[in-house]
Amino acid sequence: MAGKGTPATALLARRKVSHTLHMYDHDPREESYGSEAAAALGIAAERVFKTLVAEVDGKLTVGVVPVTGQLNLKALAAACGGKRAKLADTAVAQRATGYVLGGISPLGQKTRLPIVVDTSIRRFDTVFCSGGRRGLEIELAPDDLVELTGATVAPIAG
């Protein structure tokens, strides 16, 4: 990984949080990044969490849900005390987080956005999330992910 760190991996190193990096060869034709990661790493897809940027009442917010499910926008809005939510435009999401689509990590985002993580994260000893680029996953304890991001934990997966 020499010279190829990301803001997410830098945050983990700076905070001395126990984690494991997993790299795999990303297929540029693959559109389901999380499913690709699960298959490439040979892990249960329920343990791989995707990071989606949404707008809740016009304010950017991040939802983190298992790749096996969808982000329930109504539940995300409710978890944030808002009324309506919609997925953010790709360019807006990339600009706000500093990451590219398929590599958006909940960790080390350029702009500190409110984050809501689905309650299913608590079912596992460790979970996987993007490491900040396609083909890089971070495995860490759910509580560490929640603490590092300042996330709210709520049922937001549909």
* 38 lies in some domain: yes
- Rounded average pLDDT per 10-residue block, the chain, 158 residues: 77 96 92 91 96 97 96 97 97 96 95 97 97 96 97 96
**Nearest CA among 91, 103, 89 for reference residue 28:** 103
Beta strands in the chain (DSSP E): 19-23, 48-56, 59-66, 85-87, 115-118, 127-130, 136-140, 152-154
The β-bridge partners of 62 are 53, 115
Spatial CB neighbours of 146, under 8 Å, sequence gap ≥ 6: 117, 121, 153
* Tokens standing for residue 151: 């996330």
Residue 81 lies in a domain: yes
Phi, then psi, of 38 in degrees rounded to 5 = -60, -45
Q: Does 55 fall in a domain?
A: yes
Give CA–CA dist 48/40, Å, rounded. Answer: 12
The structure tokens listed for 96 are 């706000």
CATH code: domain of residue 96: 3.90.960.10
Chain centroid offset of residue 86 CA: 17
- pLDDT (0 to 100) of residue 4: 67
Handedness of CA 56, 93, 45, 28 (dihedral sign): positive
Q: What is the pTM of this model?
A: 0.95
- Predicted pLDDT at 1: 41
Does residue 69 sit within a domain?
Answer: yes
Q: Does residue 2 fall inside a structural domain?
A: no
Number of domains in the chain: 1
How open is the CA angle 11-16-21, to the nearest 5 degrees? 65
Q: Which residues span the domain enclosing 94?
A: 7-154
Cβ proximity of 1 and 13 under 8 Å: no
